[in-house]
Amino acid sequence: MRILCLLKVVPDVDQFRYDRERNILIRENVRLILNPEDATAVATALGFKRDVPDTYIEAVSMAPRGAMPHLEDLVRRGIDQATLISDPRYAGSDTWATSRVLARYLGRRDFDCVFCGTHTLDGGTGQVPAQLAEALGLPLMVGISTLVELISQEGQAVVDVDGETAMMRFSVALPAVLGFQYNPECKLPYIRYEDLNRDVSGLINVIGNDKLGMDEAELGLKGSLTQVRSLTTDALEAKDPILLRVDQDGIDKVYHWLEQKGFLQP
């Protein structure tokens, strides 16, 4: 089984600080992390590889060079190879342009399925998996909560999707694009201490547009169908904390608040 895992490195939004005076988010010095849904996808692939050791996993990311440490860490966690698609000409690409670049690379690769997250923490449109699948002519399933089975002989993946009213089970013909939703129970394995600084440079490819050969009109802002007009930040209100004692009065107040907010049935 050959699994390609697409991933994006995103800002850790939990580290954003809010400037109340200027009504802006302060993003400086914010750490980059692996998009949580992509991390679930990679963790799922690694979980499968644990059970089927001859599985081949390649992690692919279209990103600036700053994403390299994340790819190195993934190799240290058990990914067989990582590919960074990076070129200054790709800067400013929307989901459409990004999908076309990824499709160009994936079209040259041999794989049974593509794993990725359904949404990203920073964009959240969920468009790349769909556009990519369309470009590659592959079936697509998103919102996957669990990979039930991956059967290479039958060319089939069985997945569970958490629908709003029920859990649904689907069978998807391979090759396919499988988009996962975040599962906190499905974690990437830790890098062991002795591997933290292991040299994995030999297992990482860096590919630019010179290798992919795409027309520059299809790249970056020029190739993007979506143009950002403006960004607004929701104004956050400061609320005074309510101090309660651990006594009957405090407990009653908390209970009443939870009821009001709908967390408890009256």
Partner 1 sequence: MDRNVVLKLVSGILPESQINTAADDLYDAAADRYKKYAKARKVLDVPMPVAIVYPRTTEETALLLSMCNKHRINVIPRAGKTATEGGLENWKENTLVVDARDLNQIIKIDEYNMQATVQAGVILQGLENELNQRGLTTGHSPQSKPVAKYGGLVATRSIGQFSTLYGGIEDMVVGLECVFPDGHVSRIKNVPRRAGGPDIRHIVIGSEGSLCYITEVTVKIYRYFPDNHTFFGYLIKDVASGIKVLREVMVNGYRPSVARVYSEEDAQQHFYHFNKGKCVLLFMAEGNKGIVQATCAGIVEAVEKFKDGIIEQVDSHLIATWFKNLNWSQQDIDEEFQGMIDNDSHAGFTTEVSADWKTIPTLYDNVIMRVRAEFPRAHDLTMLGGHSSHSYINGTNLYFVYNYAIHCAPEDEMRVYHHPIQRIIVDETLKLGGSMCHHHGIGKYRNEWTKAEHGSAYYMLEKLKEAFDPNGIMNFGTIFYQAEGARFQK
Does position 26 interact with partner 1 (CB under 8 A)? The reply is no
What type of residue sits at position 172?
V
* Min separation Cβ 188 and partner 1, Å: 10
Cα–Cα distance, 9 to 33 (Å, whole number) = 6
Cis status, amide bond into 175, omega within 30 of 0: yes
* Min separation Cβ 189 and partner 1, Å: 8
Does position 190 interact with partner 1 (CB under 8 A)? The reply is yes
Which parts of 217-256 interact with partner 1 (CB under 8 A)? 241, 243
Q: Measured from the CB atom, is 53 or 241 closer to partner 1?
A: 241
* Min separation Cβ 193 and partner 1, Å: 4
Is residue 91 within 8 Å of residue 223, measured between CB atoms? no
* Min separation Cβ 244 and partner 1, Å: 10
Neighbouring residues of 147: CB distance < 8 A, sequence distance ≥ 6: 44, 48, 157, 158, 159, 178, 180
Phi, psi of 14 (to 5 degrees): -65, -20
**Strand bridging mode 24-26 / 56-62:** unpaired
- Of 21, 28, 31, 263, the residue at the interface with partner 1 (CB under 8 A) is 31
**Among the candidate windows 19-27, 103-111, 190-198, 256-264, which touches partner 1 by CB under 8 A?**
190-198
- Of 192, 198, 253, 256, the residue at the interface with partner 1 (CB under 8 A) is 192
* Min separation Cβ 165 and partner 1, Å: 31
Query: What is the side-by-side order of every strand in the sheet holding 204-207?
Result: 167-173, 156-162, 140-151, 176-180, 113-117, 2-6, 56-62, 81-85, 204-207
Site size with partner 1, rule: CB under 8 A: 8
Q: Measured from the CB atom, is 166 or 243 closer to partner 1?
A: 243
Is residue 223 within 8 Å of residue 89, measured between CB atoms? no
* Min separation Cβ 132 and partner 1, Å: 30
Provide the binding-site residues for partner 1, judged by CB under 8 A.
31, 190-193, 196, 241, 243
